[in-house]
């Protein structure tokens, strides 16, 4: 009787003499099943995360040291260990470096552009909670919830050289037509534009949620002290939302490093590789050319790059605070 | 006093209008592609490829929509997509359960489990793409809707949000139910889940949208039309841009309009949900 755990938990065990296994009892004053219940709840999700989140990294790391291709998939006995050969080949591959440089370029231009535009939109939307402003909010968010493929179909139609909307608009103001997706330089701008258009919505909603949390009293106090709207914004509002801003910058940065969707559906990396981002390069090598080993090595490089950039940013922010 | 007050009010109103004008222009730029999509989906083909383009159709026709369902297999794609949304909602339940487990049953081992979930949020899809393909392929689950849904069934971000929210449920509430003899599963369904309604709505909405739009995994993991989704079907149309833009626009509208309606109905909950998730 005494050695069996009290069924009622804390209340029941309180009045009893000290049990034989005080350590075990102190550690968990619930029914013994409840410790397993936690695992029961988490296990299905944990198993999926382990199989589709964690294991792939280990597999990718392992595969990156082999010459696995589509033939190796059918006949595993033919797979050979090649050491660091894939990484060495990567370091000397001009296409890899071109994709790397392009991706870095998008990061440098795209992160500030999206952050500033999203902040401007969020600040404007925060002006009022009326019906009209709520409608505007929905319009800004539309691109973010629309299927990627639908977006690509619509934009390709608008970019079309013969009957597209954009060239007609250029024509209206007397400018020459542009080969939007078939000229390397304009294609790079075009896919970037679509990505920015898509990213504004979600980021401005996050910033809007943060702006709504800025206490009105502080703004009033600053106004009484004679601070104008610009100074109130710079010295009261911005410091209050710095965590949301940091979150937006961080996720946008990771998003650009993983830049894939827009060039994939709009240009397929072309013309002549001008819009092949790092992720698209990996995808093409892995799934079009079936060079699983080589693409895995590249994806490990991408993962390390993202981890390093994230870490540096976290450090910078800590130093700044 | 009242005079300066009313003057200040008037100035405030002018400022609101001055902000509203550029904001409206920006919103129209955001919405323009959708207007263009709907307008061209109801044009005749010859009008849709004419130059200069007209915003509104001179002659309305729903021929493109009919074509999607009669000549093309969009009904089949749509049923697949709806099935994926259903499977996605099962995943939402698993996500909520995991959040509850991590929030209310603290322990060292489970703590590490939660850390592992958080880690996966940083990993780009392109890193996991090839190994995931290998795993699903090895399990014999390619060309299968469940296999297609598996890789994205549980979202780490979702687990994180559920945990953050459910950790605020008072322990005494759960303990009282335990003393009354309720099973752990019953406590979850009767107490934890209903209490988490706000986050459930946001996550449910995001799950529906993501499943409805899902493209990459259905594309990679299907080798026949049997398991194609609306996105994959539409991307097949996308390859033939010059043939008939009206059909493409109709397909895009078919995919987009339900999401727009859903989002419009629920947008207040989304902003509220983000506010509650504590990102600020």
Quote the pLDDT of residue A122: 92
What's the CATH code of the domain at A169?
1.10.3720.10
B179 and A CB contact within 8 Å: yes
Structure tokens belonging to residue A79: 């797979």
B72-239 folds as: MetI-like fold (1.10.3720)
Q: Which of A34, A125, A136 sits opposite B184 (nearest CB)?
A: A34
A319 and B CB contact within 8 Å: no
Based on the domain organization, do A165 and A289 belong to the same domain?
yes
Based on the domain organization, do A194 and A97 belong to the same domain?
yes
Instruction: Report helix, strand or coil for A53.
Output: helix
Listed residue (B154, B100, B269) closest to B201, CA to CA: B269
pLDDT at A28 over 50: no
pLDDT 10s digits, A101-126: 999 999 999 999 999 999 999 999 88
For residue A55, the enclosing domain spans 1-12+30-63
Nearest-5° angle of CA A228, CA A232, CA A237? 160
Based on the domain organization, do A117 and A196 belong to the same domain?
yes
CA distance, residue A277 to nearest chain B CA (Å) = 12
- In this structure, how many other beta carbons lie within 10 angstroms of the beta carbon of residue A115? 18
- pLDDT per residue, tens digit, chain B (280 aa), is 567 778 878 888 888 888 888 889 888 888 888 888 888 888 887 777 777 777 788 888 888 888 888 888 889 999 999 999 999 999 999 999 999 999 888 777 788 888 888 777 767 777 777 788 888 888 888 888 888 898 889 888 888 888 888 888 888 888 888 888 888 889 999 989 998 888 888 889 889 988 998 888 888 888 888 888 998 888 887 665 456 788 888 888 998 889 888 887 877 777 676 666 554 3
- CA atoms of B89 and A253, how far apart (whole Å): 30
Listed residue (B53, B234, B30) closest to A118, CA to CA: B30
Mutation target vs A (from B19, B33, B37; most A CBs, 10 A cutoff)? B33
B265 and A CB contact within 8 Å: no
Based on the domain organization, do A141 and A221 belong to the same domain?
yes
Based on the domain organization, do A311 and A216 belong to the same domain?
yes
Based on the domain organization, do A58 and A112 belong to the same domain?
no
Beta bridge partners of A81: A66
Length of chain B counted residue by residue: 280
Structure tokens belonging to residue A177: 């037509």
Based on the domain organization, do A176 and A285 belong to the same domain?
yes
User: Sorting pLDDT into bands at 50, 70 and 90, what band is A223?
Assistant: confident
Q: Do A153 and B270 touch (CB under 8 A)?
A: no
Based on the domain organization, do A90 and A229 belong to the same domain?
yes
Structural domain count, chain A: 2
Determine if the pTM surpasses 0.80: no
Quote the pLDDT of residue B93: 94
Q: Identify whether A41 is part of a domain.
A: yes
B98 and A CB contact within 8 Å: yes
CA distance, residue A172 to nearest chain B CA (Å) = 10
Structure tokens belonging to residue B222: 């299907």
User: Sorting pLDDT into bands at 50, 70 and 90, what band is A2?
Assistant: very low
- CA atoms of A135 and A288, how far apart (whole Å): 43
Q: Identify whether A192 is part of a domain.
A: yes
Q: Identify whether A308 is part of a domain.
A: yes
Alpha helices by DSSP H, B150-229? 156-166, 171-179, 184-187, 193-195, 197-213, 216-221
Q: What is the mean pLDDT of residues A46-50?
A: 88
Place of tokens 């049923």: B79
Q: Do A37 and B105 touch (CB under 8 A)?
A: yes
Quote the pLDDT of residue A138: 83
A39 and B CB contact within 8 Å: yes
Structure tokens belonging to residue B141: 């689950």
| A51 contacts in chain B (CB < 8 Å) | 135
Q: Identify whether A140 is part of a domain.
A: yes
- CA atoms of A308 and B103, how far apart (whole Å): 30
Based on the domain organization, do A295 and A169 belong to the same domain?
yes
Q: Do B24 and A136 touch (CB under 8 A)?
A: yes
Based on the domain organization, do A46 and A98 belong to the same domain?
no
Q: Identify whether A200 is part of a domain.
A: yes
Q: Which residues contact A129 (CB under 8 A, 6 or more apart)?
A: none
A197 and B CB contact within 8 Å: yes
Based on the domain organization, do A104 and A58 belong to the same domain?
no
Based on the domain organization, do A47 and A100 belong to the same domain?
no
Whole-number average pLDDT of chain A: 80
Domain ranges of chain B: 2-48, 72-239
Q: Identify whether A268 is part of a domain.
A: yes
């Amino acid at each position: 009787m005494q050695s069996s755990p009290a069924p009622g938990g804390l209340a029941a065990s309180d009045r009893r003499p000290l049990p034989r296994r005080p350590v075990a009892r102190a550690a968990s004053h619930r029914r013994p099943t409840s410790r397993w219940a936690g695992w029961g709840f988490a296990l299905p999700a944990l198993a999926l995360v382990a199989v589709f989140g964690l294991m792939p990294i280990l597999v990718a790391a392992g595969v990156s040291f082999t010459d696995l291709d589509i033939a190796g998939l059918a006949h595993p006995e033919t797979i050979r260990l090649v050491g660091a050969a894939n990484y060495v080949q990567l370091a000397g591959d001009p296409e890899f470096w071109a994709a790397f440089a392009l991706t870095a370029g998008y990061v440098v231009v795209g992160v500030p552009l999206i952050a500033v535009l999203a902040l401007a939109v969020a600040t404007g939307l925060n002006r009022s909670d009326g019906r009209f402003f709520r409608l505007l909010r929905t319009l800004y968010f539309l691109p973010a919830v629309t299927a990627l493929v639908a977006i690509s179909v619509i934009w390709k139609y608008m970019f079309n050289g013969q009957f597209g909307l954009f060239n007609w608009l250029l024509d209206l103001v007397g400018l020459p037509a542009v080969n939007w997706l078939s000229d390397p330089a304009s294609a790079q701008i075009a896919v970037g534009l679509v990505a920015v258009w898509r990213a504004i919505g979600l980021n401005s909603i996050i910033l809007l949620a943060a702006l709504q949390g800025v206490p009105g009293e502080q703004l009033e106090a600053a106004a009484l002290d004679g601070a104008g709207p610009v100074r109130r914004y710079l010295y009261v509002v911005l410091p209050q939302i710095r965590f949301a801003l940091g979150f937006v910058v961080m996720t946008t940065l990771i998003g650009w490093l993983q830049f894939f969707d827009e060039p994939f559906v709009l240009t397929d990396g072309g013309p002549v590789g001008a819009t092949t981002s790092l992720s698209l390069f990996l995808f093409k090598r892995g799934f079009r050319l079936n060079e699983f080993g080589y693409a895995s090595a590249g994806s490990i490089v991408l993962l390390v790059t993202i981890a390093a950039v994230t870490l540096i940013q976290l450090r910078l922010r800590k130093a700044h605070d | 006093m009242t005079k300066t007050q009313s003057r200040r009010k008037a100035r405030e109103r002018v400022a609101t209008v001055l902000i509203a004008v550029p904001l409206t222009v920006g919103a129209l730029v955001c919405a323009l592609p959708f207007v263009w999509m709907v307008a061209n989906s109801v044009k005749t083909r010859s009008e849709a490829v004419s130059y200069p383009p007209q915003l509104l159709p001179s002659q309305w026709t729903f021929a493109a929509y009919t074509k999607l369902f009669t000549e093309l297999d969009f009904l089949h794609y749509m049923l697949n997509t709806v099935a994926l949304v259903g499977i996605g909602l099962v995943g939402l339940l698993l996500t909520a359960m995991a959040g509850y487990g991590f929030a209310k049953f603290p322990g060292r081992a489970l703590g590490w489990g939660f850390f592992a979930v958080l880690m996966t949020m940083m990993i780009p899809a392109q890193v996991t793409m090839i190994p995931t393909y290998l795993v699903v392929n090895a399990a014999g689950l390619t060309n299968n809707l469940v296999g297609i849904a598996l890789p994205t069934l549980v979202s780490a971000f979702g687990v994180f949000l559920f945990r953050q929210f459910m950790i605020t449920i008072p322990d005494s509430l759960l303990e009282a139910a335990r003393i009354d003899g309720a099973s752990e599963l019953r406590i979850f369904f009767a107490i934890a889940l209903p209490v988490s309604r706000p986050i459930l709505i946001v996550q449910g909405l995001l799950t529906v949208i993501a499943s409805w739009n899902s493209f990459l995994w259905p594309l990679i993991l299907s080798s026949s039309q049997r398991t194609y989704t609306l996105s994959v079907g539409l991307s097949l149309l996308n390859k033939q841009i010059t043939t008939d833009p009206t059909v493409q626009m109709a397909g895009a509208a078919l995919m987009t309009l339900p999401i727009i309606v859903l989002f419009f109905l629920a947008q207040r909950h989304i902003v509220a949900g983000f506010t509650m998730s504590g990102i600020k």
